[in-house]
Structure 1
Amino acid sequence: MWQKIVSYLSAFALAVVLSACAAPGPPPGDMQIRSGVIEQITTVQLASNHHAGVGAVVGGLAGLGIGSLIGAGTGRDVAMVLGTVGGALAGNEIQKQHDQPVPGQQIIVRASNGVLVSITQPLNPNLFRGQRVYIEGNGEGARVVSR
């Protein structure tokens, strides 16, 4: 019994210590806006924004539907399984052929506090070196926009 109480108290103490170490940040949904000057722009290729696996799922469903129209009984079940697997493979290959890289740019901005910030985003031809810009958001959703 004492071991259980000590275990719970240890877990509670650990939770209190860890939560005290957490740095406060902006509440979810709030957007940070910082300003700065573009130091460098490099052209890059971004991965396509299509969702991976959608072709396989759609192909598998189509194959299942077609397989269900063939035969009866056990033969029909086999046709449905083979149609699902074949459709998934075909759909995945078709999606791979149509996913092309998207032109983008890696932008290095010297923020007003002196910190260098690197952001990779889709191509924006209106941005240039030395331009004063805003950095909207943070993390994966951060974007550089002109002032």
Structure 2
Amino acid sequence: MQPEWKKKKLKAWMEAYGDAVLRTCYLYLKDRYLSEDAAQETFVKVYEHMETFRGESSEKTWITRIAVNVCKNYIRKNWFQKERTSLDEGRQQDGSYEMAEDGMTLVPAIFGLPEKYREVILLYYYRELKVKEIADILDLKEAAVLQRLKRGRADVGI
């Protein structure tokens, strides 16, 4: 039987960061059901490795980094590549990406970026994380994050 403090801590973290983890997973996977699976897997990993959290970063950063790694593992799987292609084609046909009234949006351009630029753009603008937090999550130097932000912005015109 697991210690009661782990259950309480997990519950608190799920309440505090659950929505953010789910949104982060959706940004990577672009599928509601896969995102829910990835978020659930994230918290399973958080529970299993709770004792390894050393407090060198914030809880939010640590949990987000786990979520990002879970999503990257999903993306690496061959079946995901096939599903993602059909998912993207379906979204483009039904206009799901369009957000602005005039049909002009940055979303397709952002999702068209190479992963290293896309993830920093999404974490910075959508998740509203600080450069330091992004650097911790992605295990990069702050200068690398800033450079990727600059190049990603240039590629999409923001």
Which TM-score bucket, shorter chain as reference?
A: under 0.3
**Higher share in strand:** 1
Q: Give the TM-score of the pair, scaled to structure 1.
A: 0.25
Whose Rg is larger?
Answer: 1
Q: Which has the higher contact order (CA 8 A, sep 6+)?
A: 1
